[in-house]
């Protein structure tokens, strides 16, 4: 029997992580949330699109965004042996963090809150948690947890709602919505979030399903050799979410 220590999936809940502010909803001023969303940057991958990431943060600054949510796979992590040379610039954790420290955009007044995804977790050895390493390297980064984290918000005089951030390992199914719909259908009623942000697959999809606003997020990485071998192409982009 081989026992391997792993970083436990985070079950932490953060309350009112982002401030409520006045936002424009179809021409009307409402109290709500407005924040940027980034996923799957994969620092250490030759297919990572730094230009789009820089454009995203310039746009966030122009739009008055103060908080950005990074939904995981911050680093490229380690690859399967056959894809190692083509899909990674380096497999060294410190080098990937150095790439991020030097190249990730720094915009005054913007804080990036992030979770670790399945690619980040390939570095785990029971002692090193890349989340703490990244947060130490960049003072404008705030580590939230591993794979899944709930953000709960309580607007004044209204019912609380939750935003779940989740990073899943892609299975390369024939339908973009299939994996997300199956997981939502298996959740019990009390465990379902109001909004579900899903990263890791780098495919954009949005639907109200099982009474949940589900959004699969685009990434910042172009097609890798592994993705091409599995007839799988990702969407490159970023979002601003108004709630």
What is the rounded distance in angstroms from the CA atom of residue 155 to the CA atom of residue 152?
10
Confidence of residue 92 (pLDDT cuts 50, 70, 90): confident
Q: What are the pLDDT digits (tens) for 110-148?
A: 999 999 998 898 887 656 789 999 999 999 999 999 989
Query: Number of C-alpha atoms within 13 angstroms, CB side, residue 109?
Result: 9
CB atoms within 10 A of CB 172: 12
What is the rounded distance in angstroms from the CA atom of residue 33 to the CA atom of residue 23?
7
Q: Look up the pTM and report it.
A: 0.90
Burial class (CB in 10 A: 0-12, 13-18, 19+), 225: middle
Alpha-helix runs per DSSP H in the chain: 50-62, 84-87, 93-103, 130-137, 178-186, 225-229
Instruction: List the structure tokens of 27.
Output: 């021409």
Go through 58-83 and write b for each residue having 16 or more CB atoms within 10 A of its CB, e for each that does not: eebbeeebbbbbbbbbbbbbbbeeee
Backbone angles phi, psi at 83, to 5 degrees: -105, 0
pLDDT of residue 127: 63
Confidence of residue 187 (pLDDT cuts 50, 70, 90): confident
Share of the chain above pLDDT 90, in %: 58
């Amino acid at each position: 029997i081989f026992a391997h220590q792993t970083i436990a999936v985070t079950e932490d809940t953060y309350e009112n992580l982002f401030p409520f502010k006045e936002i424009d909803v179809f021409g009307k001023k409402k109290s709500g949330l407005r924040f940027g969303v980034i996923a799957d940057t994969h620092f250490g991958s030759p297919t990572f699109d730094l230009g789009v990431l820089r454009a995203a943060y310039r746009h966030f600054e122009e739009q008055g965004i103060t908080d950005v949510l990074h939904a995981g796979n911050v680093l490229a992590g380690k690859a399967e042996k056959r894809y190692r040379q083509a899909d990674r610039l380096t497999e060294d954790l410190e080098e990937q963090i150095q790439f991020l420290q030097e190249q990730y955009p720094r915009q005054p007044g913007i804080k990036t809150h992030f979770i670790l995804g399945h690619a980040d977790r390939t570095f785990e050895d029971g002692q090193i948690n890349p989340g703490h390493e990244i947060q130490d390297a960049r003072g404008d980064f705030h580590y939230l947890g591993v794979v899944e984290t709930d953000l709960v918000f309580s607007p004044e005089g209204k019912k609380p709602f939750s935003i779940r951030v989740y990073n899943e390992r892609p299975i390369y199914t024939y339908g973009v919505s299939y994996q997300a719909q199956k997981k939502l259908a298996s959740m019990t009623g009390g465990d379902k979030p109001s909004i579900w942000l899903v990263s890791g697959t780098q495919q954009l999809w949005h639907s109200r399903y099982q009474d949940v606003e589900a959004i699969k997020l685009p990434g910042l990485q172009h097609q890798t050799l592994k993705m091409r071998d599995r007839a799988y192409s990702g969407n490159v982009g970023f979002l601003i979410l108004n709630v």
